[in-house]
Amino acid sequence: MGIRSQTALKLTCQPSTLSSALQIVSRAISTRTTLPILNNILLETTSEGLALTATNLEIGIRKVVAAEVAEEGSTTVPARLLTDFVGTLPEKDLEMALDLSTQTLSLKCARFDTHVKCIEAEEFPPGPRPDEGDRLSIPLDELLAAIEQTQMAASTDEARPVLTGVLLHIDRDGQTLAATDGHRLAVRKLQARGGSDLEARLIVPARALAELPRAFRGESGEVEVIVSKARNQIFFRAGTSEVTSRLIDGTYPNYTQVIPTKSSTTVKVATSELNQTVRAVSLFARDSANVIRLKTETGGLVLSATTNEVGDSRAEVSADVEGSDIQIAFNARYILDALAVAAEDHVELLFDGPLSPGLIRPPGSDQYLYVIMPVRVAM
Query: Applying CB under 8 A, which residues contact other proteins?
Result: 159, 180, 182-185, 253, 258, 288-289, 291, 331, 355, 357, 371, 373-378
> What is the distance between the alpha carbons of residues 249 and 238, in angstroms, rounded to a whole number?
25
CB atoms within 10 A of CB 67: 21
Distances (CA, A) of 30 to 67, 80, 87, 94: 27, 11, 20, 27
Q: Which is nearer to other proteins, 274 or 328 (CB)?
A: 328
Taking the C-alpha atoms of residue 337 and residue 335, their distance in angstroms, rounded to an integer, is 5
Note whether 74 and 51 are within 8 A (CB).
Answer: no
Of 77 and 371, nearer to other proteins (C-beta) is 371
**Minimum gap (Å) between residue 278 Cβ and other proteins:** 17
Sheet with 40-46, side-by-side order of all strands: 74-78, 40-46, 49-55, 59-65, 241-246, 233-238, 222-227, 134-139
Instruction: Work out the angle between the directed axes of helices 271-281 and 332-340 (0-180°, nearest 10).
Output: 150
Helix H segments across 158-283?
206-215, 271-281
Smallest distance, other proteins to C-beta of residue 243, A: 29
Nearer to other proteins, 218 or 260 (CB): 260
Looking at beta carbons only, is 152 or 226 nearer to other proteins? 152
Q: Where would I find the beta strands (DSSP E) of 172-217?
A: 174-180, 184-189, 200-205
Q: Dmax over Cα atoms in the chain, in whole Å?
A: 80
Residue 155 and residue 157: Cα distance in Å, rounded?
5
Minimum distance from residue 149 beta carbon to other proteins (Å): 18
230 vs 378, beta carbon nearer other proteins: 378
Amino acid identity at 27: R
> What is the smallest separation between the CB atom of 256 and other proteins, expressed in angstroms?
12
Rounded to the nearest whole angstrom, what is the least distance from the CB of residue 279 to other proteins in the complex? 20
3-state SS assignment for residue 28 = helix
As measured in angstroms, the least distance from the Cβ of 288 to other proteins is: 8
Nearer to other proteins, 182 or 363 (CB): 182
The smaller minimum CB distance to other proteins, of residues 42 and 185, is found at 185
Give the nearer residue to other proteins in terms of CB position, either 47 or 257.
257
Residue 356 CB, nearest approach to other proteins (Å): 9
Could you give the 3-state DSSP secondary structure of residue 159?
Answer: coil
Residue-by-residue DSSP string for 75-90? EEEEHHHHHHHHHHS-
CA distances from 260 to 10, 122, 293, 332, 369 (A): 60, 54, 20, 20, 10
* Among candidate residues 151, 210, 142, 145, the one with its CA nearest the CA of residue 179: 151
Go through 104-119 and write b for each residue having 16 or more CB atoms within 10 A of its CB, e for each that does not. Answer: ebebbbeeeeeebebb
Q: How far is the CB of 259 from other proteins (least distance, A)?
A: 10
Q: Which is nearer to other proteins, 125 or 253 (CB)?
A: 253
In the complex, least distance from residue 371 CB atom to other proteins, rounded to whole angstroms: 7
